[in-house]
Structure 1
Amino acid sequence: MKAIVIEKFGNPDVLVIKDVDKPEPKAGFALIRVKAFGINHAEMHMRKGEWAEWMPISGVECVGIVEACPGGEFELGTAVVALMGGLGRTINGSYAEYTNASVGNVVSLGSNEPPLPWDQLAAIPESYATAWSSLFRNLEIQKGQTLLIRGATSALGKAAVNLAVNHGVRVVGTTRNADRHQDLLTLGVEKVEQEGPDLSKRLNLRLEDKFDAVLDLIGNSVLLDSLTLVRRGGRLCLAGWLGGLAPISDFNPLLQMSGGVHFSLFRSPDFGQPAFPVSDVPIRDIVQLATDGKLNAKPTKTFSFDQIREAHRMVEEGRANGKIVVMGY
């Protein structure tokens, strides 16, 4: 089969299309003919050797057709989505014609025909599963509450905006790019703020105006600032590292956290673990919302298989403005 292989660490030019052995069907896995896959920031770090776990064939999600399933969990020909479960981290991932995905990380779409075009469907799995879990599990967001999403024009950020607005949440979004303010307003956010490390000082919120919840997708570089934006009893979820992977050099909760603020972390690699089953996420319901036009989940750009380097460059240079999808070979 054809696969996109990381032959050495480096810039997008290290991604090489070559012939490799097709995965063998095995118990506990579904062999999937990959129709399309989304591009994720984690894969940028894997390609550069900055991620603890990586495989020569990257890709943590895909959509496609079940070609073999020795355990009988899925009928052959079924349209499915697959995400995480070691894909691209401990087992070869979705940047290929075929991939073996753990059955616990595969979701049937109920028929042999996808409800959306493959490229639109591929924009959903990882981004929307992570966004849904962050919003409704970590943050326990409720209709009418106020939510700040830092990094709202990323693929994950836009997924969170869509889900929160659809749920009746009042959303404020941030972006570094002033040209993207209108994009967020069109999605239904009430207000857009310029992202930056001094956001809390610029907002200068009164105690009663602080947010019920903050979804921080920028990461460690603004975490301490995000903590000051949450009301007592409110929640902060850290679920992205758009600002880089550097750790916080000096974090003293006693001095830098307000009393009564709940802080949690969401790690998408946990999907499929006993504590975080993929079945907990209503992926088919989310797909139906997109099919019905209630979520604007379309990719911002779709590339062909042989354009993988261009796709990586667009994401790495911050030009994606949403989800980038690559069609299967």
Structure 2
Amino acid sequence: MKAIIQERFGPPDVLRLADTDRPQVGADQVLVRVHAAALNPYDWHMMRGDPFVARLMGVGLTRPKSRVAGIDAAGRVEEVGANVRGLRPGDEVMGFCPGSFAEYALTTADLLVPKPAGLTFEQAAAVPMGAVTALRGIRTVGQAQAGQRVLVNGAAGGVGTFAVQIAAALDAEVTGVCSAHNVDLVRSLGAAHVVDYSREDFTDGRVHYDVILDNVGNRPLSRLRQALTPTGILVANGGGSPGRFFGAMGSMLRLIAVNAFVRQRLRPILPAAPAGRTHEDLLAVTAFIEAGELTPVVDRTYPLADTADGVRHVEQGHARGKAVVTMP
């Protein structure tokens, strides 16, 4: 099969298209014929082995443990293991498929849900990590409720576009922060107010929010707290720049330390790699989609051979919504 192979950590140039063996299905596994795979900041962090501490936590110390990257996918079930129930070859699915930058990827049934009929494979591939992270940030951790003021910093990005829609579906009063180029997009997603960060500073204390989901990390914690109500919730989504030892983990630890001494609730959230309530969260996201309250925003698509260009685009922070890789 065709796949994007990575033999060492480094910039997008370390990714190359190659032929490799199709994965063999174990008794508890599902083989998915991948039609499309989303690109995430998670992918370039794994590509670079960044932050370095992640290498000590199982990513691989001197080279990637997994030669094929990618995590989000949509496609059709190709084969199921002997112990798998509820899925059959030919079923259209979306979910978390490690090694999804390939024609075939192995996963488990609990990391897949049926693809909503109204979505293309490209749209469906854009859903898993971005939408589940947004769901956890807005509803699970942020506990957003009807009538509350909710602000999403980075509202036009892969997580932000989902977060604005989820908060609006919960009947919150949503403010989205983005560039001037994306104001109309963010407003169309359900934001009642849109802040152009080049002209306004949402942390100036003039407006106070019950929930802030910060996907960018470009404001000091003291300023973010100034924009919260006295008992508001700040949800900090993991991110960070390449080449840092701790990356966003250092900021998360500081957030947890300050949280112990203030009335406001300061909560970190890491990107929604498969763990815990993944299947339930995927089903919840699907329910929003099928209710017409959530639509993936696909910025652009790349053929599998151009995956490195797509990763570079996402790493540079240019993506508007999600970028997606399509299979031959």
TM-score tier, shorter chain, comes to 0.7 to 0.9
Alignment correspondent of 2:309: 310
> Residues 324 and 253 from structure 1, CA distance in 2 versus in 1: closer, same or farther, beyond 3 angstroms?
closer
Q: 1:239 and 1:255, CA in 2 relative to 1: closer, same or farther beyond 3 A?
A: closer
Q: 1:254 to 1:239 in 2, by over 3 A?
A: closer
- Give the deviation of 1:224 after TM superposition: 4.2
- Cα shift at 1:252: 8.2
Letter in 2 for 1:48: R
- Residue 227 of structure 1 deviates from its aligned partner by 2.8
Q: Which residue matches 2:28?
A: 28
Aligned with 1:259: secondary structure?
coil
Is the contact made by 2:10 and 2:47 (CA closer than 8 Å) also made in structure 1?
yes
Aligned-partner residue type, residue 107 of structure 2? A
Letter in 2 for 1:44: W
Return the TM-score normalized by structure 1. Answer: 0.84
Q: Which moves more between the two structures, 22-31 or 8-17?
A: 8-17
Alignment of 1:1-329 (within 5 A): 1-51=1-51, 52=54, 53=59, 54=64, 55-70=66-81, 71-73=83-85, 74-83=87-96, 87=98, 93-109=99-115, 114-175=117-178, 177-195=179-197, 199=201, 203-205=204-206, 209-219=207-217, 222-241=220-239, 245=247, 247-248=250-251, 251=254, 259-269=262-272, 271-273=274-276, 276-281=277-282, 282-289=284-291, 292=292, 294-329=293-328
* Unaligned runs of at least 5 residues, structure 1: 88-92
Contact 2:256–2:266 (CA under 8 A) maintained in structure 1: no
- Deviation (angstroms), 1:45: 1.4
RMSD, aligned α-carbons:
2.7
**In 2, are the aligned partners of 1:151 and 1:242 still within 8 Å (CA)?**
no
Does structure 2 retain, via aligned residues, the 8 Å contact 1:228–1:257?
A: no
Which SS does the other structure have where 2:159 is aligned?
A: helix
User: Cα 1:249–1:22, aligned 2, differ >3 Å: closer, same or farther?
Assistant: closer
| Cα distance between partner residues in 2 of 1:239 and 1:108 | 27
TM-score relative to the length of structure 2: 0.84
CA distance in 2, matches of 1:250, 1:29: 36
Cα 1:10–1:160 shift into 2, 3 Å: same
Q: Could you say what secondary structure the match of 1:155 adopts?
A: coil
Tell me if the contact between 2:30 and 2:107 (Cα under 8 Å) persists in the aligned partners.
yes
CA apart distance, 1:58: 0.6
1:204 alignment partner AA:
G
- Over 3 Å counting, the alpha-carbon distance change for 1:117 and 1:220 in structure 2 is same
Identity %: 26
The CA deviation at 1:308 is: 1.1
Contact 2:115 2:124 in 1 (8 A): no
CA distance in 1, matches of 2:223, 2:260: 10
Stretch deviating more after TM superposition (35-44 or 63-72): 63-72
d(CA) in 1 for partners of 2:161, 2:71: 19
* C-alpha distance in 1 between matches for 2:152 and 2:280: 25
Q: Residue 258 of structure 1: CA displacement?
A: 7.1
The superposition leaves residues 266-302 of structure 1 with CA deviations (integer Å, 9 ceiling, x where unpaired) of 22355333xx34224413313314xx4x434231111
Number of residues of Structure 1 aligned to a counterpart in Structure 2:
308
Q: Which amino acid aligns with 1:319?
A: H
- C-alpha change, 1:251 and 1:46, in structure 2 (3 Å) is closer
For 2:30 and 2:286, how far apart are their aligned partners in 1?
Answer: 18
Q: Distance in 2 between matches of 1:287 and 1:190?
A: 20
